[in-house]
Amino acid sequence: MEWLFKFPQLNSDLLLTFKRAIDGSLRSLTRVYGQSIEDVFYPLQRVLIFFENAISNAPWPLVVLALSAIAWLAARRWTIVGAVVGTLIAIGLLGLWQDAMKTISLVFVATIFSISIGIPFGILMNRFKQVGGVLQTILDIMQTMPPFVYLIPVVMLLGIGRVPGFIAVVIYAIPPIIRLTDLGIRLVDKEVLEAADAYGCSPWQKLLKVQMPLAMPTIMAGINQTIMMALGMVVIASMIGVQGLGLNVLQAIANQYFTQGIFNGFAIVGIAIIFDRISQAYGHRLQKHRGRAHE
C-alpha cells in the first residue's frame, strides 16, 4: 500500500541525464555563440545607455518641468501636476534623484518596447482565432510564472547587465497590453462596425480608423498595467545588475539597512503613482471623449 502514499517517480538516473543534457547544451550554446548573441543585442544596449544618460544627466528642473508638462497634457488637472512636482522634489531631497532617473529611464524604454510589441500581437490575437488561442495559453503561462524564473534564461544567454534585465522586465510586463488590446477591439459596438461596413471601409481602414480609436481607453488601461508590472520587475531585475532604486533595495536587504530600504521603497511607490495617475487620467479623458462621440 506504500504506493498510495508515495507518488511514483521517473527513473532518477534517466531524469538526471535529461537535465544535464539540456543544461550542457545551453552552456555549449553560450560558449560558442555567446559573443554573437551579445553583438545582436548591442544596439539595444546603446539605446538603454542613451536614454539613461539623457535622463540622468539632464538638469533636474528640466526633468521636473517635462514630467509636469506631460502630466498637464494627459490630465489637465493642476492637482495631478502638483502631485508629480511634489513627489519628484521629495525624491530629490532624499538623495535618490540619480537612482530614480535610472529607474524611470528603464521603465520608460521598457514601456515603449512593450507597447510596440504588445499592440500588434493584441491585434493578431483578435484577428486570427487560432493564433489567439495559442497566445492566450502563452500569456496564461507568462502571467503565472514566478518573476524570478524570467531571470534564468536571460542570464544564461547574456550574462549580467542592463540588457538581460531589460529583456526580463519587458517579458514580464508585456501580457497586459496584449490582452487589453484584444479586449478593447472586441468591445467595440457592432453597430459601429456595421456602419463602417456600410460606408465601404476595408478591414484595415475599419481597424485603424474605427476599432483602434474606440479601443484606446481600454488599451490605455493595458499600458497602465504594463507600467506597474515593469516597475515591480525592476526591483527583481536588480539581482542581475540593473541599476537604480531596485539595486538600492537589494543592498538594503543584504546589509539590513532599514532606512535605505524604506526610502528607496517610497521612491519606487512615488514613481509608480506618477505613472499611474498620468496614464489613468489620460485614459479617463479618452473615455469621456468617446462618450461624447457616441452622444
Q: Model-level pTM greater than 0.95?
A: no
DSSP 190-201: HHHHHHHHHTT-
* Contact call for residues 243 and 99 (beta carbons, < 8 A): yes
The pLDDT score that the predictor gives to residue 291 is 55
Q: What pLDDT, on a 0 to 100 scale, did the predictor assign at position 31? A: 80
The CA angle 161-167-172, to the nearest 5 degrees, is 125
pLDDT digits (tens, 9 = 90+) for 202-233: 888 888 888 888 888 888 888 889 988 888 88
Would you state the pLDDT for residue 279? 83
Burial of 255 (C-beta count, 10 Å sphere; 0-12/13-18/19+)? exposed
Q: At 85, is the pLDDT very low, low, confident or very high (cuts 50, 70, 90)? A: very high
Mean pLDDT score of the chain: 85
| Phi and psi torsions of 95, nearest 5° | 80, 25
Looking at residue 128, what is its pLDDT?
85
For residue 6, pLDDT beyond 80? no
Residue 98 CB contacts under 8 Å (≥ 6 apart), including other chains: 56
pLDDT score, position 289: 61
Give the separation between CA 160 and CA 73, rounded to whole angstroms.
38
Q: What is the mean pLDDT of residues 172-201?
A: 87
Q: How far apart are CA 259 and CA 253, in angstroms?
A: 11
Number of H helices, E strands in the chain: 15, 0
Domains of the chain by range and CATH?
47-58+97-294 (1.10.3720.10)
